[in-house]
Structure 1
Amino acid sequence: MAQRFVDLLFRAVTAGLLWLFGLLTPKSRVSGKKLPPVRHPLLLESATQLARKIRRREVSSVEVVQTYIDRIQEVNPLINAVVQDRFSAALQEAAQVDKLIEEETGGEDVLEDRLPLLGVPLSVKESFALQGMPHTAGSVSRKGTLAPVDTPSVALLKRAGAIPIGVTNVPEQCMWIESHNHVYGMTRNPYDLDRIAGGSSGGEGSILGGAGSVIGVGSDIGGSIRLPSFFCGVFGHKTTPGIVSNDLQLPPFSSRQEEILSTGPMCRYAEDLLPMLKIMAGPNADKLSLDTKVDLKKLRFFTLPDCGGAPLINPVSEELKQAQRKVVERLEADLGVTVEEVHFPELKHSYDMFFVCMNLPDNEGKEPTSFATVLGEPGPPIWPFWELLKAAVGKSNHTLPAIVFAIMSKLTKPPFSVLKIKEKLQQDVVELLGSDGVLLYPTFTRVAPKHHHPLLFFNDIIYTAIFNVLALPVTQCPLGLNEEGLPLGLQVVAGPLQDHLTIQTALYLEKAFGGWTDPGAK
């Protein structure tokens, strides 16, 4: 009874604050505007299809890259997703690709095997090192810092022929679900400019959703690939940890954080997930069964409607529950499978489990780097309470969410007792899924919130963060738009190293529900 009262009070306070936010939040200069529809047919091709056409000389890489440059210049003034371009260099590299293809004597198959993404444009999250490009993660203290080399995943994609066209926005030091900072400003959702694009790979989600990019690179320690992909109506894959290198990204992981951090692909078309993952994984691709044919009719499917009433977590909206039910009905009708509904009472402790895993000391007892230290680098740690006072009068170089997170990290003691709960949950879920099980689970409690509203919904990241804790692969899948024209979607989860199962399910869901939708056409 007491918990019920607390939940009702929490919901009432949240509703009241949302109403107050609506009164106090000024309209932006782009409020009410819409993205123009996609007009060029090349923007409606997957990266896989574009690479094939480029190899066959049906279209030049220069034409493809220029088409994407034109689209970025058309939509970026509205969404502020690409924070630094490299258009001139990209066009030069595209011209070199076209010359290479002209001189190639080994045939299309040789090029496909050696350079599977030859001539295809690529966007990269700014927190990843991309040689010669800004590498600040939205921190004023790092403004002007350029990356001297490429992060490994980007280097592998470039080696496969992809051409980076720019870097995209993030929250300050990537620790928030809205991409906004005092270096680059705020990124907007391509489906509604008054709403968030997500974080921390929010610029990636926004430019992909706005058809200004076809493939991109993101990272995920609590939902940073999946939340932007969900809010912006695209595909994103959180890989099994340890498969794709996390090196040379900001903030640098410390202690045991790499155990829950994943670098992975984001894209508009599901067929690009598998080839991107193969490339980004490098030699670790052999640990996955990416070339294994999957018969979806032989898989075991499970659905989990919510986290079971965790305290201070908003309920999943009815429209997202209904979208998940439609997926269940479609799977059963099309594949003849039975989708079993499951429940795990341990999910009520999801937030505590995530917080503990973010703060675990390493095997030598060394604590992870404090967020106050991260925010101050390359200088001394910040004083969070002093920055809070400065922020109140508009004098801080740090965003309010970053300051609040630094304070929370300083004051909150993680309840390490939940590690036993985490171990039991992990064992139960891994045992349930095995090597042929797929789980459906909500991504968030509602569709993309309005700007600044995540201050009231931050705990709701437990819907994505729990799978970082459990070290499982997850693919975020779009499921069309709601009545307001905002993307719906859900997470598809599998057992460790079974990334191919979630990706194959994503391919099915794209065909069944339409996949990405042009935001300018709604």
Structure 2
Amino acid sequence: MEVKILFQSLLNSLVTFVFGFMSFIINGDRPLAKIPPVRNPLLLESASSLAKKIRSRKLKSLTIVEAYIDRIKEVNGLLNAMVSYRFSEARDEAQQIDEMLDSGQVPERYSEKNAPFLGVPLTVKEAFSVIDQPNTSGLINRKDIVCDRDAPVVDNLRRSGCIILGVTNVSELCMWYESANFVYGRSNNPYDIRRIVGGSSGGEGCILGAAGSVIGIGSDIGGSIRMPAFFNGVFGHKPSPGVVLNSGQFPPASKERSCMLGTGPMCRFAVDLDPMLRVMAGSYGLSKLRLDAPVDLRNLRFFSMGDDVRLNMASALDPELVEAQAQVRTYLQTKLGVTVQRLQLYRLKYTVDMWFSMMSTIDTESFTHMLGNNGPRVYPLWELLKRTVGLSSHTLPAIMLGLIEGLDKLIPERTQRLLAKLGKLREELENILGDDGVLIYPSHPKLAPFHNAPLLYPCNFAPTATFNMLSLPATQVPLGLSAQGLPLGIQVVANRYNDHLTLAVARELEKGFGGWAAPIGMGMYHEAIEHDTT
């Protein structure tokens, strides 16, 4: 075992050196650049706090909107997180809100109950339809599309008073965990621009982590909210299925795939998760949840898993992530006086196989069909040959996923066996968790990798994909920074429709571990953040 650990450590060091050196050769001294520190204290307050101050006239919406516009302009040249802006419209909307509040004549639709985020800035993953904004999902043949309506979840947040600043980068067709495409290019991590931001909601996680946004919309079919939230040091929640409408985004989700896809909130402060989820769910899904139920964390049953086993085809957990999970267990046991039980579910080792099998059996449009955007059929093998000479308009990860999709359908018997295992795993975990159980589980096997390194670890989305195929709610919680200054994090999971449990644990862990940490030092603002989140 010690020899195996030593070998893995040496391999990780070699990969880090090779991809770090590649980054230097390709980009020159650019990797040495760092984003400017956060200087404006308005950027260090939660959306909930800002909304209260706007309504009480302690702050003006326009002042806050201008602060975030300035921050985006300051950092986006290095990060390439925001891919389309609506700054002029945002300023006008903020000015109108300020004038309305100053007049004292506030219509009922803008009351605190109906518009809890009145005047607060919002960013949106580009895969969602936003009026007058692009909706390419990284596909070249959709680059001229401009939306004429909002997706339902965007409309809900706009009605809640949010002011949309623009849309953020994604991976091609939202099916890879590095946000890069031939429409907008590649996004860079605010903690180290040589590294990935995750995907597919990578631009969203990136601009949040850089303090260029305070709340945002993401979607997640294999970890596309939680991986970017982890790599960029923010909170991200994949809700229970059927709670938030998935319609109005591309690629679309239909039939069984809607149970795997979750549209949810991304933010820097845990206090914003609950009110965001309420608004995003609206009357459609809120009745399924118990967000008003009181939660006594001392009465919950806690479980921990995933830090001592290697999932099939995925990497073993980095030592710092193993230690972070151990610290979470210690904190919960010490602070709450609970016992954190260790779990071993052997069927989890088939996570990647089960996820691909579930995706391939769903009776809806194939990935390769969506690559063509309802045009001529895309042939992955032909695109792979074109890619070798730089002629394909599709990224290598998208091409490889198309090939895998085709191969998986060639073995239907294997698929059925895997789906049977999945059913037993789902039943087993649901019985263990009940309505008072919470699971602590890794968000990802590695700290934010260097650009292109995910090609060596294509199945490292397994820890997040697990809970898409099990249809369970999961919250990624930041746990501070590693020795290298990269974000640490953990997933908190509960049984279906027990989202209130994971959100309550997220708030507690934020108190214990500090939550989001600015990419360049906290300095004079650390006390302000601590006050705002407690």
Q: TM-score, normalised by structure 2?
A: 0.92
User: Deviations 1:328-383 (Å, cap 9, x if unpaired)?
Assistant: 1011111111111111001011111111111223xxxxx33221111111421212
User: Deviations 1:52-100 (Å, cap 9, x if unpaired)?
Assistant: 0000111111100000000000000010000000000000010111112
Matched, 1:122 2:122: yes
User: Deviations 1:264-305 (Å, cap 9, x if unpaired)?
Assistant: 000000000000000000111121111112111111111113
Do 1:305 and 1:321's aligned partners in 2 also have CA atoms closer than 8 Å?
Answer: no
CA distance in 2, matches of 1:501, 1:210: 28
Mapping of 1:304-453 within 5 angstroms?
Answer: 304-306=305-307, 308-361=309-362, 367-413=363-409, 415-453=415-453
Aligned residue identity for 1:434: G
SS in 2 for 1:334: helix
Per-residue deviation, 1:110: 7.3
* Residue in 1 that maps onto 2:216: 216
Q: Call closer, same or farther: CA 1:339–1:171 in 2, change over 3 Å.
A: same
User: Deviations 1:112-162 (Å, cap 9, x if unpaired)?
Assistant: 112100000000000000011001001100011011110000100000000
Q: Call closer, same or farther: CA 1:293–1:231 in 2, change over 3 Å.
A: same
Q: Call closer, same or farther: CA 1:99–1:433 in 2, change over 3 Å.
A: same
Do 2:313 and 2:352's aligned partners in 1 also have CA atoms closer than 8 Å?
Answer: no
* Residue in 2 that maps onto 1:364: none
SS in 2 for 1:483: coil
Do 2:131 and 2:146's aligned partners in 1 also have CA atoms closer than 8 Å?
Answer: yes
CA distance in 2, matches of 1:442, 1:177: 16
* Residue in 1 that maps onto 2:149: 149
Per-residue deviation, 1:16: 6.1
* Residue in 1 that maps onto 2:274: 274
Do 2:189 and 2:232's aligned partners in 1 also have CA atoms closer than 8 Å?
Answer: yes
SS in 2 for 1:460: coil
Q: Call closer, same or farther: CA 1:307–1:279 in 2, change over 3 Å.
A: farther
User: Deviations 1:229-277 (Å, cap 9, x if unpaired)?
Assistant: 0000000000001100000111112452111100000000000000000
SS in 2 for 1:165: strand
CA distance in 2, matches of 1:123, 1:86: 10
CA distance in 2, matches of 1:200, 1:433: 29
Do 1:302 and 1:342's aligned partners in 2 also have CA atoms closer than 8 Å?
Answer: yes
Aligned residue identity for 1:97: I
Matched, 1:518 2:528: no
* Residue in 2 that maps onto 1:49: 49
SS in 2 for 1:134: coil
* Residue in 2 that maps onto 1:81: 81
SS in 2 for 1:58: coil
Mapping of 1:96-245 within 5 angstroms?
Answer: 96-105=96-105, 111-245=111-245
CA distance in 2, matches of 1:506, 1:9: 35
Do 1:124 and 1:167's aligned partners in 2 also have CA atoms closer than 8 Å?
Answer: yes
CA distance in 1, matches of 2:485, 2:126: 28
CA distance in 2, matches of 1:319, 1:241: 32
Do 1:14 and 1:456's aligned partners in 2 also have CA atoms closer than 8 Å?
Answer: no
Do 1:236 and 1:265's aligned partners in 2 also have CA atoms closer than 8 Å?
Answer: yes
Q: Percent identity?
A: 49
Do 1:129 and 1:248's aligned partners in 2 also have CA atoms closer than 8 Å?
Answer: yes
| CA RMSD between the two structures | 2.2
Do 1:37 and 1:520's aligned partners in 2 also have CA atoms closer than 8 Å?
Answer: yes
CA distance in 2, matches of 1:420, 1:378: 33
Do 2:123 and 2:167's aligned partners in 1 also have CA atoms closer than 8 Å?
Answer: yes
Aligned residue identity for 1:506: A
Unaligned runs of 5+ in 1: 362-366
Do 2:440 and 2:491's aligned partners in 1 also have CA atoms closer than 8 Å?
Answer: yes
CA distance in 2, matches of 1:110, 1:453: 47
Do 2:20 and 2:194's aligned partners in 1 also have CA atoms closer than 8 Å?
Answer: no
More moved, 395-404 vs 46-55: 395-404
Aligned residue identity for 1:396: S
CA distance in 1, matches of 2:400, 2:346: 30
Q: Call closer, same or farther: CA 1:171–1:107 in 2, change over 3 Å.
A: closer
CA distance in 2, matches of 1:7, 1:482: 20
Matched, 1:28 2:24: no
CA distance in 2, matches of 1:424, 1:266: 31
User: Deviations 1:478-504 (Å, cap 9, x if unpaired)?
Assistant: 000010000000000001100010001
Do 1:307 and 1:348's aligned partners in 2 also have CA atoms closer than 8 Å?
Answer: no
Do 1:142 and 1:378's aligned partners in 2 also have CA atoms closer than 8 Å?
Answer: no
Q: TM-score, normalised by structure 1?
A: 0.94
SS in 1 for 2:459: helix
CA distance in 2, matches of 1:445, 1:337: 26
CA distance in 2, matches of 1:18, 1:405: 25
Q: Call closer, same or farther: CA 1:378–1:14 in 2, change over 3 Å.
A: farther
Aligned residue identity for 1:327: V
